[in-house]
């Protein structure tokens, strides 16, 4: 079966080289029993690839089940996957088969494998290596013949270094890795996807299909798409339902894109007749963008504070002294216009105010303050999302890998 037939069968839209490479890999590995690790951000369609592999494999007539490891509580995931015996724990009123028993001969798709507890990882490794498992509360070893396809939006190799994921399981799962590209890595597919979604929603809601002008389409292509295809589909549905005018321009499109990302999209749209950044040519470093913004905001605040102190001091008859001067105290010295009139001040003379002119010292101080601000933002984001790193990273606009590095760098307790 060729790639285009697979796209038509499974509703895959797009012709980017990265997408085609991922599909080719899925087709090649489908006819084997090798374990597959599908890697990609949330919303790129990793489950579709697992379905393709199962549908093209010799197991296609046997069961297929998708399990979200992050949605099952840690206390019950062993029972869900491997089954349990009656009375093995509170609430176990009957014996129960697990997924590895019920899907025998078929394929199990373990989504968000990075969320799996370490104890369950050890059980899964045994299944992959020997095909054996034991129900919870039992001592009887059972056999199963199940193909495992796993998926994650995390950097599992980095998790192995931190001890959150077993290294032996990682290498056992990633016999054949498939990397599904994010939507911003296949921007040429964005207009195709939007037209398909808009047509589908127009048919569903019995309305006219949405049409984008050149500027609106350019904004859509330039958008960062943190939620990938899932987010694009949601926005297409919002526009189809909420927009009374089905001819969408850039101004109308901006109302549907999240504020922070919409402003970024507008910034890289080239003006007509002038040079500019073409879609896909900008390699956004979100961590750098955040740091630059923090730095310049901090520098502006410091400059404003210095100017305010200078103005107050000047109005009180004081002027700043260069701290490099040989004075007994680097303080604000009074300005005497004559010998009879002395300035009055409310300043505490025992706490002199210093306006330094040492550029190097100022840069070091600003850098330290910047690090404190960054640490504060990361700590607040982790607290807000109850230490869920994926959600905290999304709020901060950085990758999970960067967030993990920053947590270690600042020694942040979660």
CB neighbours of 67 closer than 8 A, spacing ≥ 6?
Answer: 80, 81, 99, 108, 109, 110, 111
Asked whether residue 314 falls in the same domain as residue 370, the answer is yes
Asked whether residue 261 falls in the same domain as residue 395, the answer is no
**Max alpha carbon distance in the chain (Å)?**
104
Residue 366 banded pLDDT, cuts 50, 70, 90: low
Residue 298 banded pLDDT, cuts 50, 70, 90: low
Asked whether residue 196 falls in the same domain as residue 177, the answer is no
Cβ–Cβ under 8 Å, residues 319 and 332: yes
Tell me which of 129, 147, 181 is where a domain ends: 181
Asked whether residue 170 falls in the same domain as residue 226, the answer is no
Q: For residue 61, what is the domain's CATH number?
A: 3.40.50.300
Residue that wins the pLDDT comparison between 339 and 80? 80
Cβ–Cβ under 8 Å, residues 132 and 123: no
| Within a domain: 281 | no
Tokens of 191: 């207009």
| Within a domain: 67 | yes
Q: Which candidate, 398, 369, 397, 393, places its Cα nearest to that of 382?
A: 393
Is pLDDT of 294 > 70? no
pLDDT attached to residue 224: 92
Ramachandran quadrant class, 168 (left: phi over 0; alpha: psi -120 to 50; beta: rest): alpha
Asked whether residue 52 falls in the same domain as residue 148, the answer is yes
CB neighbours of 406 closer than 8 A, spacing ≥ 6?
Answer: 374, 375, 378, 398, 412
pLDDT attached to residue 345: 43
Asked whether residue 93 falls in the same domain as residue 125, the answer is yes
Q: Where in the sequence is the domain holding 36, given as residue range(s)?
A: 3-181
pLDDT tens by residue, 237-252? 999 999 989 999 999 9
Asked whether residue 174 falls in the same domain as residue 191, the answer is no
- CA distances 227 to 47, 178, 261, 326, Å, are 15, 19, 12, 60
Tokens of 315: 């109005």
The strand pairing partners of 65, in sequence order, are 108
Q: What's the CA gap between 230 and 272, in Å, rounded?
A: 31
Mean pLDDT (the chain) is 81
| Within a domain: 239 | yes
Residue 373 banded pLDDT, cuts 50, 70, 90: confident
Asked whether residue 218 falls in the same domain as residue 364, the answer is no
Q: Is the pTM of this model over 0.85?
A: no
| Within a domain: 52 | yes
Asked whether residue 292 falls in the same domain as residue 335, the answer is yes
pLDDT attached to residue 209: 94
Q: What are phi and psi of 148, to 5 degrees?
A: -105, 125
- DSSP H helices, 103-256, are 118-130, 156-162, 167-173, 190-205, 214-222, 228-242, 250-256
pLDDT attached to residue 75: 87
Tokens of 316: 């009180």
| Within a domain: 278 | no
* Distance linking the first and last C-alpha atoms of the chain: 49
pLDDT tens by residue, 48-87? 999 999 999 999 999 999 999 999 998 899 999 999 999 8
Asked whether residue 295 falls in the same domain as residue 175, the answer is no
Q: Count of alpha carbons within 13 Å of 404, Cβ hemisphere only?
A: 15
The total domain count for the chain is: 3
Residue % of the chain over a pLDDT of 70: 73
Per-residue DSSP letters for 103-114? TTTSEEEEETGG
């Amino acid at each position: 079966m060729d790639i285009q037939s697979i796209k038509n069968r499974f509703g895959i839209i797009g012709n980017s080289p990265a997408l085609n490479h991922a599909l080719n890999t899925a087709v090649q590995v489908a006819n084997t029993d090798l374990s597959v690790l599908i890697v990609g951000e949330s919303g790129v369609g990793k489950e579709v690839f697992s379905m393709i592999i199962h549908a093209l494999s010799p197991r296609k007539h046997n069961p297929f089940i998708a399990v979200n490891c992050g949605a099952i509580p840690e206390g019950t995931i062993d029972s869900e996957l491997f089954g349990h015996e009656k009375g093995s724990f509170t609430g176990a009123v009957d014996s129960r088969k697990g997924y590895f028993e019920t899907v025998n001969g078929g394929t199990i798709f373990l989504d968000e494998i990075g969320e799996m507890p370490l104890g369950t990882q050890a059980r899964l490794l045994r299944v992959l290596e020997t095909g054996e498992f034991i129900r919870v509360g039992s001592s009887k070893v059972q056999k199963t013949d199940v193909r495992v396809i796993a998926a994650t939006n995390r950097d599992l190799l980095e998790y192995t270094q931190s001890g959150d994921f077993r290294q032996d399981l990682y290498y056992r799962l990633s016999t054949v890795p498939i990397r599904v590209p994010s939507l911003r890595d296949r921007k040429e597919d964005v207009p195709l996807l939007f037209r398909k979604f808009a047509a589908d929603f127009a048919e569903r809601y019995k309305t006219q299909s949405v049409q984008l002008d050149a500027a609106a389409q350019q904004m859509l292509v330039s958008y960062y798409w943190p939620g990938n295809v899932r987010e694009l589909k949601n926005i297409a549905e919002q526009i189809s339902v909420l927009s009374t005018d089905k001819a969408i321009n850039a101004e109308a499109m901006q109302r549907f894109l999240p504020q922070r990302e919409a402003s970024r999209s507008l910034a890289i749209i080239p003006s007509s007749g002038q040079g500019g950044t073409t879609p896909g040519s900008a390699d956004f470093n979100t961590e750098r963008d955040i740091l630059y913004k923090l730095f310049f905001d901090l520098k502006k605040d410091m400059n404003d504070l210095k100017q305010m102190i200078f103005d107050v001091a000047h109005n009180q008859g004081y002027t700043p002294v260069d701290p490099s001067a040989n004075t007994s105290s680097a303080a604000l010295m009074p300005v005497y216009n004559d010998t009879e009139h002395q300035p009055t001040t409310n300043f505490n003379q025992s706490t002199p105010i210093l306006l330094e002119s040492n550029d190097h010292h100022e840069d070091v101080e600003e850098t330290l303050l910047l690090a404190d601000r960054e640490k504060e933002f990361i700590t607040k984001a982790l607290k807000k999302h109850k230490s869920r790193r994926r959600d905290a990273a999304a709020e901060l606009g950085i990758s999970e890998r960067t967030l993990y590095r920053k947590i270690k760098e600042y020694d942040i307790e979660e």
